[in-house]
Structures are given as structure tokens and as C-alpha cells.
Structure 1
Amino acid sequence: MKQIPLILAMSLAFAAAAKGESAPDMQAAVNFDSAMLWGGANGADLSRFNYSNALRPGNYIVDIYANNYPLIRQQVRFVAAQTSGQGLKTAPAVACFTYGQLEAMQVRLRALDPALVADLKSSGRCEVLGKLFPDSRESFDFGENRLEVSIPQAYTINRFRRDISPDEWDSGITAFRLGYQYNYADYIGGLRAGRRLDLNLYSGFNFKGWYLRNSSTLGWGQGRFTRRSQRTSLQTDIPSWRARLVFGDVFSSGEYFAPYSMRGMLVGSDTAMLPYSERLYRPTIRGVARTRANVKVYQAGVLVFQDAVPPGPFAIDDYSPASYGGDLRVVVTEANGAVQTFTVPYASAVRLILPGQTQWSFSAGRYRNYRNDGQDRPWVTQLTGRHGVADGVNLYGGLLIAQAYQAGLAGLSWNTPWGAMAADATLSRSQLSTTGNANGSSLRFSYSKTLSGTNTAIRLATLRYSSSGFWNFADAVNAGPVETNGRNGRFGLYSLLGRERPRGDFSVTLSQPLGGYGSLYVSALRRTYWGSSRVDQQTQLGYSTQVGRVGVNLDVSRTENRRSTEHQVMLNLSIPLYGATSSGVVTGSLARTGSAPVQQSVNYSGMSGERDQYTYGLGVQRAGTSAQYALNGSWSGTYGEVSGQLTHGRSYSQYQINGSGGLVAHAGGVTFGQYQAGTIGLIQAEAAAGAKVVNTRNAAVDRSGYGLVSLTPYSLNEVELSPQDLPLDVQLESTVEQVIPRAGAVVALRFPTRHDVAAMLVAEPGSEGALVFGTEVRDGAGKVVGVAGQGASALVRGVSASGTLEVTRADGSICRATYDLKSAGQAVHGLPRIALACAPQGGGERGARAAGQAVAQPSAISISGKDHEPDIR
């Protein structure tokens, strides 16, 4: 395999204006005049950079992007353009794709000649895009090692994101994992005097796609030690069902029936496993084009889709909405300029899935109550499901069967021009110990709508009424002790002093953007109960805006319950501050609750460090004659996070320390890192200690060559290492790795490295013309080991302890340098210095022995190769 040269920053700047095209009429050359270079470099041969893809033919591992979306990282063959059927006399190498690579790029192979497709599939040969798809283009970014291909939408299957097959999911390696969080507090004075230490542990073991998990808590305080296991489970995926199977302590979702905990098993579909195109509901856009027309779809003024359609009916369902709700405005422009516009309603706060899609869940086990582990635990089974029967119409329902309790639910959700709605009914039958059977029902209605003209969002989250005989499962179990330890199969009644049962529930939220004047929101909640006159009500009004750099928030609320009625008004101001090495924000607030004194507070919080790894803050809060002062700071590093806080009031003080971290034990040792509760990537990059993970706050490779990074399951994750802090004799052969992990997996991300002998080749005075900018340096075997940069010098890698280096000058003569690194001098960064001394051009060949003079490091980046071609791995 071959390594792509990261060639010459200057040539990249010029080449940016000459994007490579795979169609022959677009692959125009741009000539660089070597006379524009200074000094001896003005005789350099720059013809190879006349095209954006300045690659030599060969096989290269590259990151393939199609229409700006990352697809795969694979070895791609590049062929000389004149042998690819394009008929160019002098041209760069162009990419040549196999049948499998074309499939991975999500192109419409059915649009090609069937005989050609059959030949590509059976022979294994490759073909360039220009011969397959008219108007396709390609360009290569040396700095990013990225091959960008542009394919017309007519030839692509999925236009907005690549669907991922379960065959691509990575189950990860065998590993033990542990995440921990701790909190130490010391209270001096006040009502909570004393010390306390709490430790939360999240541990697991992964083996061949099975994941064992346990979460536990440990506590020390007031002379007591406590330990509790919160949850233990064993889980795996069922890829063919797009479902997850879990044994142990599981929780019901709460979407259909009131949530509860149980110990048993659960199996059900997981929307995260679905292809991207099926995870989010969106209405199908249908219309009729009278001619070949251009269709544009807008949501809240944002263009979310554009394509050309042939005459006749069309249906569009492969677009990505800009937001989860908001009507779609469709503009159809005919070939003759005529325009037709229509609106497709879309409000998705109400849950909807696509037509033909089915989601389901089944669980069975014994009820688990964390508050009273000793109480009787009845058996319980639950089955729920949802099916898309038509575009914008879903049926859903479920059954819950337990000892002394049964319930059933049926519902319908649909998308209409007036908004999205859902309605369902639940019937329950509870066998109570005193009054016998209690039968009841609960009705629920939900609604959401975004008004296109004003962007007003209306969310009627819940309108629910439950009859007096309706009990949910958890309430029935927790109502009281089960008679004779449950042998009669009946539940006890609620005590008069116990919790009331919900009767009516109403909540609504409205939000209104005001353009350049900010935004406004209103929310209201009202809840009533059976067996009590209790009424809970809450109303909230909020307004936020920006005045210059100052953020302004005003909140007014009213809360009413059985014990009191409370009014609160709060005003918050925030002012960002920016410095050369840090940034921060000053916040101030005024709050008044009921008749209490006005509470005033001023706080400052800031961040500093190369990666904002340090945060700090201080504040003061005053209410009436009392005041409280606070000071805090935190550090986030490769191996975890630590924060501390000091609070001081009139009669008390509090010291608090919090921290978190994690570790993974694997075949290569134990790697420490940040707290990770989800899916983990285990980076392996030998001898690359200190290399940082790009786009993360603190992830890096440790001294053992390992590191930890968080990943998103069932999605394409691209992890990139920065070589910036690596020593010059260590080279990352690949800086980017892609992986699609399963949820909970520990996935190995192997970054090949090369630990080569490096040296600096420097032209002696009078010989600068032999080492001009862009000149390749070869070893005695003819392998390219470096490229000359500025200052008549070149960084060479992969050289032997002694031998010969050679460069070819513009007149074809060869200049050689014989060296022995053991006796060579030291250059910048401790690299050996090899001197190159040559006769004037036309004077034949001349060798030079190594000298020991130090030189400055050149800016060129070296490459290595074989058979006079770049070598990539």
C-alpha cells in the first residue's frame, strides 16, 4: 500500500483554485510558472502540480466523501487519466471504483447499463466516475487525506444521510470498564454539620457482543457506611430485528403505561438501530409536475430539499426536516417558468413513525420497588407496539398483565392540516383487598401545531382524565401491604394518609419568536386528585432577548398547591467577556418570591487553557441582611475531572470536592480516561504519546499508546488524532479512523504509526540549486524518503544508519550525499544533519560526506515510498 504525500503547503494554496474534475472537459490544467519561485527554486519542475489531484497512479487508503457526507475509509486505486479512456495527454491520476465501493457510495446502479454493472460485479475491475455518471466530479484534499466525489442527485439513493447496515456494526473487544464519580462535603455550622463521602460506580464487562453492567453506590457519613447495588443487567443486540435484549433489572419506558422497575427480561426495537432515513417521521410530499420541473421544499424559511422531477406525479420522502415540526412550503417551478405553491402540514411533537414501520417491546419479570425491597413482588408482563398504517397515521396499544392487576391501552395518532394529534384510552382492573375489584379508565389527548405565518408553537402535551376506579400498576402495588403476604393475590388500599391518585391533568406550552426582539413563552399546568380536594397549579411566563452583548431574561411564575400559593419574579442579565487567553461571563440577577426580601446575586465564571480545561468562578448572593459568598474551580484532563467549591455564609461554611473518571482494562493493559457511561472508543497508537483527539476537550493518547474517547452508537463516528505534539521521528500513517459501534461496546481504533529514523538533509553553500523547493530525495534503493522545502533543506524519514541519499537536478544530473548518522552532527530538534555538496549544474555527479552543522527545520513534510511511488498504509 502507499502513503499519500502531504505535499507542499504553497502548492496546495494554488491548487485550491483548480478543483479536480473527473469529466474530461472539466479536468482543465492550471500551469504554475517556476519563475515565480525565489532563488534556486525557480528552476523546479512543477508540472505534476498542474492538476488538483497531483497523485501518481497507485493504491491509496483515503476517506471517501460523497456530496459532502463521509462514507467509508477504503483503499482506492488511482489510474493515470490517459489510460482511463479520457484521452488526456498530461493529466493527474483519477480514482477508479469497484462495484463494492460504488454500492457503499449509495449510487443508483440500476441507472447504469446492466451489462456494465454485471461486468464490474463479476470481474472485480474498477471504473472512473466520469465514464459512469455524467457531470460527476472529484477532488482530493492532501491535508485531510480526503477524496471528495460529487454525484448528481439523480444517481444517488439516499440524498441526505447514508443508511448503515447492521453488518457494519462493531461489537467491540473483550474488556472490563469502570466509571466512577465521587463527592466529598464538609459542613461546618448550620443544620448539616458533619462530613460525608459518596462514591458512584458504573462497572461492566464486554464479551463477544454481550455486555454485563452494574451500577452501585457507596457512602460514608455520620459514622455509618452504606452500600447499595442499584441495577445489574446483561444485554445484547438482535441485529436482524433491530432490537435489544436485556436480562436483569430493567425499566419500562413509560410511553404507554406508567413507568415501573422490574427484575426479569426485556426485548424490544430500538429506533437508534434504524437507518437514518427511518428514524425521524416526515410526511411524504406528493404533487404533479406538468413539465420537467424543479421542486424546492422550505420549512420555517429554510430550504430543506431541492431536486428536479420528470413530468407527472411525484412523491418525495428522502428529505431531512430543519426542525421537529412546522409546515412545509413546496414550490414547483415548471420548465416554462410557471410556479405552483402548496403547503404540507407537519407537526411532530406527537409521536409518529413512518408508514409500514413497526416498533414493539415485550417484558416479563417481578416488580421491583427500591424503597421497600422486602415487600411482595408480583409477576408482571407488558407488551406494547406501534405501527404506521398510512402516511401520518399510527395505531398503537399495549397490554399489562400482573397478579391482581390487568390493563389494556389502544390509541391513534395522526397528522392533519390543523396539527398533529393523538388520543388513547386505558382500561384497568385492580383486585383490592378491602373493596374487591376496582375497574376504571383513563383518557388522554395530545396536540401540537406550529403556525407557519408567525412560527407560534403550540404544545398541548397532556389533557388526561382518569375515573375513580382507575389505578396504574405501580400505585396499586404500593397502595399498602398485600394480605397474607400476597397469597390471596389482592392489593391493599391506599391509606388515608398516603398519596392521592391523579384525577385530571392538563398542561399547555406556547412559544413565540419575536424576530430581532427576542422570544416569549407561556406554560400552564393544572392537576387534580381523587380522594382529596388538592389542586396543583403552575403558570409561567418568560421573555428573553439580546441587547447588544447583554442577554436579558425575565421570568414570572405562580405556583399553587394545598399548602401555599407562591409568586416569583426573576430578572437575569449576562455579559460575556473575552480575553487573550481566557473567556468568561458576568451574570446578575434579582429575584422576589412572595413577601420574602429581594434576593440579589452577582457571579463571574470563566474558562482558560489551551483546550478550556480550567474553569473558575466566584459570586456573592444577598437577601435582606444575610449574605453568602462562593468560590469554585475545576480542571478537566485526560484522566478525569476534579472540581472544588467553598461557600461561606453568616453562620456556616461548606467545602465540597467532586470528581469523576474511568478506566478500561483490555488485552494491552489498563487505560485511564474520562468518565464514560456509554459507548467507548479505545485508541491504540503505538509511540504516539501526547497526540490529542481532535474536536474533544481533553482526550489524548497516554504513554502506553492508548486513549479513550466517547462514541455515538449505530452511527458513523470519525475519530481524528492530531500529530502536532508528536516527535519528528514518529509518524501517524493514518490520522482518521471511522467506526460504527454497537451501544455499550468498547471498540478498538487502531492508528498505525511508524517509528522511522529521521534526519535533516542540508545543502552546503554553493549547492543550494541541487535542493530546490519540491525536489524529491531518494535513498540508495531509489525510494523517496523526503521532499525539499524552503531553505535548501529536506526532512528525510526511513533512512538507514548509513548509506547514500541522492537528488536529481533540473538538468538531469544526480547529486549524492554519503553519510553515517553515528558521526553526523545534530540539527534542530536533535535530528542528525546530513550535508549535501554538489558541483555546479552540468558538471556531472559529485558525492559529499556527512558534515555536522545544525540547520533550521524546513516546513516541508516528508513522504516515503516504494518503486518511485508514494507509499500509504
Structure 2
Amino acid sequence: MALLLTKTNKVLADSTRHYFNPIALMIIIAFAQPNSVLATGNIEFNTDILDLKDRENIDLSEFTQAGYIMPGTYPFYISLNNNTLPSTYDVPYIVSEQNEQETVPCLSPEIISQLALRNEWQKKAQWWHDGQCLKIDSITGMSAQGSLATETINITIPQAYLEYTAENWDPPSRWDNGISGALFDYNINAQVTDHKNSNTNQQITGNGVMGFNLGAWRFRANWQANYNDTTGQSTERSWDWSQYYAYRAISELSAKLTLGEEYLRSGIFDSFRFLGASLVSEDNMLAPNLRGYAPEVSGVAKTNAKVTISQMGRVIYETQVAPGPFRIQDLSDAVNGKLNVRVEEQDGSVQEFQMDTATIPYLTRPGRVQFKLIGGRPSNMDHRTEGPGFALGEFSWGVSNGWSLYGGLLGAGDYNALSVGVGRDLMMFGAISFDITESRAKLPSDNKTYTGGSYRLSYSKRFEQYDSQVTFAGYRFSERDFMNMNQYLDRRYRNSAQDNTKELYTIMLNKQFVALGLSAYFDYSHETYWNRPNTKRYNLSLSKYFDLGKFKNINVSLNAFRNQYEGRKNDDGLYLNVSLPMGDAATISYNSVINRTGNSHTVSYYDRLDDRNSYRLGTGLSSRGKATANGYYIHYGDAATVTGNASYVAGDYSSAALSLQGGATLTGYGAALHRINLPGASRVMVDTENVANVPIKGFGANTRTNRFGKAVIADINDYYRMSTSVDLNKLPDNVEAVKSVQQFTVTEGAIAYRKFDVLSGLKTMVRLALADGSYPPFGASILNAKKHEVGIVNDNGSVYLSGINPNEILDVNWNGQTQCRIQIPQNIESVEFNSLLLPCDMDPSATPVNTATAPVIHNVQPPVTPVQNIIPRERWLLTRPDIQYSADDASL
């Protein structure tokens, strides 16, 4: 019955332009007749009730048994407990062991492995059909029912039999390593500045990732480049391959194996660069609510500016920002340790500061052990090793619900370090951790051994009753002779000494003043050294929304900051912004920047044109009282994200900048240019089988498939159940999506591949004629070369076809097999709708159609004002079978 209703509905509403014969309604009514019997599982129809001109020419074989699917192999999606698995599978339907009148799906071991059965139930599974098919009743409570209409096999299994899953997380058995392919991701920034009465400076910088995937392995090479030309002075060029490495997921251990050049990622020891191998527990493999966090970088730009975040000489993030406060929150959660932040303003000034990205207290969930096993030799940016080989082991053990123990050992011959620590969940009082690290370093140059300790205390707390949170608070004290690995290498091999930290204070606070509608954010760091002046940094942000008369959602924000870096004079500043929404997307704002060089004032207008384009225009006075103008534009294209900006200060300088951020992905299925977020990260290639201009939803603006029907969505998270879909509201008129949503869970760095079944072509009503002058039976199916149903034969051989193309040959099926074929004429686009007669023959090309003399089969147009406003619609349809009726109005 379900299959019949689905098929009937397809006749009724295949398209918004689909015309149908109301006889389809009679099929449903036939089910209510007393002559229909279900005693044997088969359904008999009282065809006398059908108002057909030829009741003998009917094929209802597909409807005679509820849920019956003819033997054969079909592409199916698998829905487990109403959650659709990512891929499609070719599933054979075979005759049941118990009843020769029934067919059942043959669920292969490959499919069963994707269901994530617990081990004890995997062992209970029994097989038949030469071990190729699961005996469904061997798993108690399991059922499987297929539907050709939805191309889905619905499987239900008691949840207790399955591995742990979360709403947006799949167990490892369903993770997709993706397909093999190559990638090149880039982030290029170009800027030209013309200083009045001075030189013109041109600068191009870039960074990104190049690599390829092979099975579960990802091979990567990071690059960074710089071109700087100052007219009449100098030209600098550089291109560096900063890092070569390969990695893969080890799902059995919830760990990541990396070979090559990398940086130590540790919550205990300071980071350094090395060449070697590492096996590290990967938090991202856990369910989302068990994962860690990524560091955040905040600051204030005085003009259009470029923000560069680097660590130990390696650029890890670079972007263009508009004037005002910025918060960079999309760094990889693998980034930790001390970061160098450089803000290059278009007026030539530069802000520099450091921030420590120490994580929240080192706590591990009860019973879980996190570990790091690393070995190799330290290396430098020239890809040369230096220093002795080393081995590192690190662990964190969740002893109980409140206590965690952690520690590590780093051994490298003349340099050794040992760390032990304890973490405690204080429940209502927050979480705290304390650790001690002792280093021992022998320097042959002075034949002396340096021994010192470093002590760290960390704290985190959410104060619910006060709507505030101490995101992180930390204190660290290091003795004069304490050395980390980098300091040891500098002193031994380069005869230089890095800054020797004495004390470090760090705190980050969030607070909501609900009664005032005010939110506040504060971060502070203060670092003292044994061998140079102190550094410190403050940043305070206040923001409030309010209404003023008819003006709603006015925002006032204030940012105050102070940076003191490497003993330089304080860089103090205050930024005030007032913004007033105008309409749906536009905003008028005023901002003022106060710093040691003076005051500047700007009035600007921002508008979002659509989900792809936005811009901002501004004018005002500079800190020296000169007129200014600036503009900022961003476009989210299919091939790249393009950002352009320009600034002008009267009598001082003019500047323009352009940023391109994108990538190229090449696989055996095709290639595409695309936007990116994180270079080298995971992505999914979407294939619409040569159908161009299909809008694909990811994050942000849609991406349209290229001329080859390929698109790449790069904004996806690893080990997280994601989905991408066809935007049905923006499909071209000649395209229909058979399956509009695809899900996937990928391992880190994967190139997933998903194919969308789409029909591209014309929609029209035709009439079919057999060689003897008759026509195919009512209910016959029309299939294209991909075995997609594009139409169902109606009364008198009429059929509405969708997704057809010139010269295409279509199969006409009834009685379970192809009986004849039709060929769409070359000039189909010029043929009048509803006026084409097509011969149905096994070789349709031998019987060309003369569309000029083809008879018009229907000329009656659907009524503009439906008669059912006077009498019930169903009754009206039954009394007027001679009139074709629009599916738009036939919501039966």
C-alpha cells in the first residue's frame, strides 16, 4: 500500500508543472472496495471502477503485493533508526528463504559493518546465500524494509545493540577516509601603498598547503612566500617550504600518527620543532561534547589591516580585517603554546604582541587515558636536524570523577625534563591543576649542568549565578636555570640565549550584566623575565544593545587595550563604536580611535547585498586631522573568497589591498576550484554528474557546481557528522534533485566524495504509441539510462516526462522488464508542450518522429478558477476525467 501511494503521488505531483489524469485517484479508491483481498498477501484490484477507455491495458504488477520489490540489484541509501548513513550501496533483492512469493534485501557484511553493532551482537549474526547476506532474524528485534520510491532501506535495531552515538557524531566504523586526490590551498594578500612625497611600496605575501591523499594517509607540504618592493630602494623575494609531513588516523587507539617535520603539541612541555614520528591521542575523535577547545586571538585594528599569527617563524594564520575590534576564533585546536601576533596597518604602523594559549586545567574524563609518544631529532626552519635524538612520553589519566594525574618525560641525552601534575574538579568551585617540571641541561661549552624547576597553577570556573566565567587563569614561575628544549638548543648550538621567563600571569574573563544588557570580556597577561624587561597586555571589551524610540538594536561597544612588547613604550588605545541597523542587512556606524598618535573619527555604511557579497564605505578624519576615505568589499565566490579594500588620507597616503583565499582539489572523479577555511583541511567533493550550476549548501554562501558538475565544500569538521545538500529553492528550472541531502563523517584531512542524483533537462507531456497502433499500459514506468524513473504512463499512453534531453533514449517498462524504448527528438525544445507523439519500439532511432505532423493529443488547459470551489474537489475530478489538471492545485 505504501509503495502504491508513493507511486501514485509521483504521478500527481512530480513537478509544479506536472499535468495528470485524475484516474490516478481511482487507484487509491480501489483499495477501499470489497473485492480487494489481502488474505494471501497479494492485492487484487477491481478495475471496473477505473474510468479508463481500455481497462484491459493496465499493468499494476508493481502494486499487487505491499512492499514487494522485484529481484534485482538496486542502489539504496541505508537508514538506521531514522538516521541515514552517508553512502549508497548496491543491494540485491533476492527471493526469501521462507516464502518464495516474497523478496528480501541482501545485507552484505560491508553494510552490516557500517551499522556499528556491538561486538557481542556481531558474533551472533548469522549468514546465508553463501555467506553474502545477513539472516535478519538472527539479530533479535531487527527489521529491514526497502522502498524504491525513496531509494532507501529502512533498518531498525534496538539502540542497546549499537555502539555509542551522539546526535552529530558517528562511531569509528562509519568514518570515511575519503578518496585519493591532490590539493593546493592558498591565502594570498597583495597590497600597494603610495606615500605622498615618498616611495611606493608593493607587497605580496602568501601561505598555504600543498599535498595529496592516498587511502588513509595524508601527505602535506606547508609553504609561505613574500615579495616586497619599495620603489627606488630594494626588492625582497622569498619562498619557503616550511614543513613536510604525513599523517593518518589510528581509529582503534583514537590517536593520530604523524611522520616528518612537526611541532610538539603538549600541555606540559613547551613547543619545539622536530623531525620524527608521533602517536598522539586525538580529542577530535571523541564525541563533540568530550572535545577540547581552540585558542582565540583578539585585538583592535586602527585601519584596514593585515593580521598575521605565527609561531616560531611559521605563519599559521593570516587574514585581512576591517578597522575596529577583531576576534579570530577559527584557529585549529591543535595550536597551542605562545603565539606571535602582528597587526600591519595600512598607515604603516605595526602592532605586535604575544599571547599564551595555555589550555584550561589538564583534566581527563574518568577512566580515560590520553597519551603522547614522540621520537626524533630537533630541527630548524632550514630542514636540518640539530641536537641529539630524543624520546618523549606524556599521559593524562582520569583516576576518578574528580581527580586526574598527568605527567611526562623528555629525554635527549644532555637535556632531560620530567613533569608531574594533578588536576582536580572542584565542582561548584571550578577546576584547578598544579604541575612541576624539572629540567636538567648540560652545556659542553662551559662544562656545566643547569638544573631548574618550573611551577604552574591553572584555574577555570563558570559562575552561573553571576553570569560570568573565568575562561582561564594561570600562574607560572620558572627558576633562573630552568630551560625548555628551545632554550637549550639555542644556547648549545647557536651560542645565544632566548628570553628566560621568570613569571607569567594570564587571565581571561567573560561577564554578562543581564539587568543592564551589557556584556564584558577581559584578558590580561603579564610576563617577567630573568634577562630582559617585562611585557604585558590588557584588553577590555564592553558591548551593549538598546532601543531608542523607533530605532531598534542600537549597539555601543568600547574596547580599551594596552600592549607593552620587548620593553617598548606602551601602545595604548581606545576604540568606540556606535552602530544603527538600517533595514534587514544595512548598518550605519560611527567609530573613534584614540591612541598615542592622536584621535581619528569615521562614519561608515555597511550593507550585505546577498549571502555572497557585502561592502562597507567610510569617511572621516585621521589622527592628524586630515580627511580620510576607505572601503571594504568581500565576495564569497565559488572558486575563492575575494576581499578588497582601499584607504585614502589626504596629503598623506593612498593604499589598496586584495586578498584571495581558496584552493584547488583534483581527484579521479574530477577537479574543482573552491573556497577554503583552514588550508589543508578536510573537504567533500560533490558530483552532480556533469550537471552544471547546481547550488550546493555548505556553511555560508552556496557553492555552485562547475561546468563539469563538480564542486568542493571545504568548511567541514573532522570526526563530526556533517551534511551537504542541494538548495532546492535555487535550482535552475531544468534541474531536479532525486536525492537532495548527503551525510558524511570524515577523518582528518580527508577528501570525501558524494554523488547527487539529479535530473537535468526539459519537462513535457507526450503520448506513446506502439507499432500496432496501441499504447503502453497504464502504470508502465519510463526510465532513463541511470535507471531513474522520469515518468509513469497515464491513460491513452499519455505521460509527463521530466529531466529529458534531445536524442535521449528512454526505456518503457511493464511486466517487470523493458518492453520498448522511445527517443526524444533533437528539436524537442521547439516542440509545443503537450503535442508530441513518440513511437515506442526496441529500436526507436529506426522510426524517426516527424514533429511537424505529430498529432496534438490534448489542447484542454487546466482551469484558472478550480470548480472545486463550488463542489468538492474529489467529486469534480471524478466527473471531469477529460480535463488535464494541474498538480499545483490537486493536493488530494
Query: TM-score, with normalisation over the residues of structure 1?
Result: 0.67
Aligned partner (choices 363, 373, 385) of residue 352 of structure 1? 363
For the residues of structure 2 that align with 1:234 and 1:154, how far apart are their CA atoms? 38
Pick closer, same or farther for the CA change 1:188–1:451 going to 2, 3 Å. closer
Question: Given the alignment of the two structures, is residue 7 of structure 1 paired with residue 10 of structure 2, yes or no?
Answer: yes
C-alpha RMSD over aligned residues:
5.9
Letter in 1 for 2:399: V
For the residues of structure 1 that align with 2:805 and 2:620, how far apart are their CA atoms? 66
For the residues of structure 2 that align with 1:804 and 1:262, how far apart are their CA atoms? 62
Q: Report deviation, 1:186.
A: 1.6
Question: 1:691-702 counterparts in 2 under 5 A?
Answer: 691-696=694-699, 697-702=701-706
Q: 1:383–1:399: 8 Å Cα contact kept in structure 2?
A: yes
SS of the residue corresponding to residue 677 of structure 1 reads coil
Tell me the equivalent position of 1:402. Answer: 412
Question: Given the alignment of the two structures, is residue 666 of structure 1 paired with residue 667 of structure 2, yes or no?
Answer: yes
Q: 1:788–1:795: 8 Å Cα contact kept in structure 2?
A: no
Aligned partner (choices 694, 706, 709) of residue 710 of structure 2? 706
Residue-by-residue CA offset, 1:31-65 (whole Å, 9 max, x unaligned): xxxxxx9999xxxx9x9999xx9986777655445
Tell me the equivalent position of 2:639. Answer: 639
Tell me the equivalent position of 2:326. Answer: none
Q: Report deviation, 1:462.
A: 0.7
Tell me the equivalent position of 1:195. Answer: 202
For the residues of structure 2 that align with 1:65 and 1:409, how far apart are their CA atoms? 49
Residue-by-residue CA offset, 1:148-199 (whole Å, 9 max, x unaligned): 7787867765463486454544444443321223222221115772222334
Question: Given the alignment of the two structures, is residue 383 of structure 1 paired with residue 388 of structure 2, yes or no?
Answer: no
Residue-by-residue CA offset, 1:803-862 (whole Å, 9 max, x unaligned): 999999xxxxxxx9998755x97467898953499xxxxxxxxxx99754789999779x
Aligned partner (choices 165, 182, 192) of residue 188 of structure 2? 182
Q: Report deviation, 1:271.
A: 2.1
Question: 1:514-553 counterparts in 2 under 5 A?
Answer: 514=514, 517-531=517-531, 534=534, 536=536, 538=538, 540=540, 542-547=542-547, 549-553=552-556
Aligned partner (choices 741, 747, 756) of residue 742 of structure 1? 747
Letter in 1 for 2:477: Y
Letter in 1 for 2:192: D
Q: 1:643–1:659: 8 Å Cα contact kept in structure 2?
A: yes
Query: TM-score, with normalisation over the residues of structure 2?
Result: 0.65
Question: 1:838-849 counterparts in 2 under 5 A?
Answer: none
Q: Report deviation, 1:512.
A: 3.1
For the residues of structure 1 that align with 2:176 and 2:821, how far apart are their CA atoms? 50
Residue-by-residue CA offset, 1:52-107 (whole Å, 9 max, x unaligned): x99867776554455664445556799999x99xxxxxxx9999989986775567
Question: Given the alignment of the two structures, is residue 411 of structure 1 paired with residue 404 of structure 2, yes or no?
Answer: no
For the residues of structure 2 that align with 1:802 and 1:401, how far apart are their CA atoms? 71
Aligned partner (choices 240, 243, 253) of residue 265 of structure 2? 253
SS of the residue corresponding to residue 390 of structure 1 reads coil
Q: 1:462–1:508: 8 Å Cα contact kept in structure 2?
A: no
Letter in 1 for 2:711: G
Tell me the equivalent position of 1:679. Answer: 682
Pick closer, same or farther for the CA change 1:578–1:393 going to 2, 3 Å. same
SS of the residue corresponding to residue 478 of structure 1 reads helix
Which residues of structure 2 form unaligned runs of 5+? Answer: 17-24, 26-49, 230-234, 294-358, 770-774, 840-848, 862-883
Residue-by-residue CA offset, 1:339-388 (whole Å, 9 max, x unaligned): xxxxxxxxx95343333322212223333344x88996554433211122
Q: 1:717–1:739: 8 Å Cα contact kept in structure 2?
A: yes
Q: Report deviation, 1:604.
A: 1.6
For the residues of structure 1 that align with 2:757 and 2:809, how far apart are their CA atoms? 27
Question: 1:199-348 counterparts in 2 under 5 A?
Answer: 199-222=206-229, 223-274=235-286, 279=291
For the residues of structure 1 that align with 2:261 and 2:788, how far apart are their CA atoms? 61
Tell me the equivalent position of 2:460. Answer: 448
Q: Report deviation, 1:225.
A: 2.5
Q: Report deviation, 1:217.
A: 2.5
For the residues of structure 2 that align with 1:12 and 1:705, how far apart are their CA atoms? 23
Question: Given the alignment of the two structures, is residue 622 of structure 1 paired with residue 621 of structure 2, yes or no?
Answer: yes
Q: Report the identity percentage.
A: 18
Residue-by-residue CA offset, 1:116-152 (whole Å, 9 max, x unaligned): x6689998877999x9659x99998978x66777878
Number of corresponding residues: 729
SS of the residue corresponding to residue 384 of structure 1 reads strand
Pick closer, same or farther for the CA change 1:364–1:684 going to 2, 3 Å. same
For the residues of structure 2 that align with 1:352 and 1:621, how far apart are their CA atoms? 50
Question: 1:491-530 counterparts in 2 under 5 A?
Answer: 492=495, 494=497, 499=499, 501-512=501-512, 514=514, 517-530=517-530
Residue-by-residue CA offset, 1:537-558 (whole Å, 9 max, x unaligned): 6363524335474252433536
For the residues of structure 2 that align with 1:689 and 1:387, how far apart are their CA atoms? 52
Question: Given the alignment of the two structures, is residue 795 of structure 1 paired with residue 804 of structure 2, yes or no?
Answer: no
Which residues of structure 1 form unaligned runs of 5+? Answer: 16-36, 85-91, 282-347, 765-769, 809-815, 838-847, 862-873
Q: Report deviation, 1:249.
A: 1.6
Letter in 1 for 2:753: A
SS of the residue corresponding to residue 363 of structure 1 reads strand
For structure 1, which segment, 746-755 or 260-269, has the greater mean C-alpha deviation from structure 2 after superposition? 746-755
Letter in 1 for 2:489: V
Q: 1:687–1:755: 8 Å Cα contact kept in structure 2?
A: no
For the residues of structure 2 that align with 1:777 and 1:106, how far apart are their CA atoms? 37
Question: 1:776-787 counterparts in 2 under 5 A?
Answer: 786-787=791-792
Residue-by-residue CA offset, 1:461-498 (whole Å, 9 max, x unaligned): 2122222332222234335xx4xxx5xxxx8574xxx7
Q: 2:470–2:507: 8 Å Cα contact kept in structure 1?
A: no
For the residues of structure 1 that align with 2:810 and 2:640, how far apart are their CA atoms? 49
For the residues of structure 2 that align with 1:241 and 1:820, how far apart are their CA atoms? 57
For the residues of structure 2 that align with 1:279 and 1:560, how far apart are their CA atoms? 32
Pick closer, same or farther for the CA change 1:122–1:373 going to 2, 3 Å. closer
Pick closer, same or farther for the CA change 1:727–1:62 going to 2, 3 Å. same
Q: Report deviation, 1:250.
A: 0.3
Pick closer, same or farther for the CA change 1:577–1:415 going to 2, 3 Å. same
Tell me the equivalent position of 2:451. Answer: 439
Pick closer, same or farther for the CA change 1:636–1:533 going to 2, 3 Å. closer
Q: Report deviation, 1:726.
A: 6.6
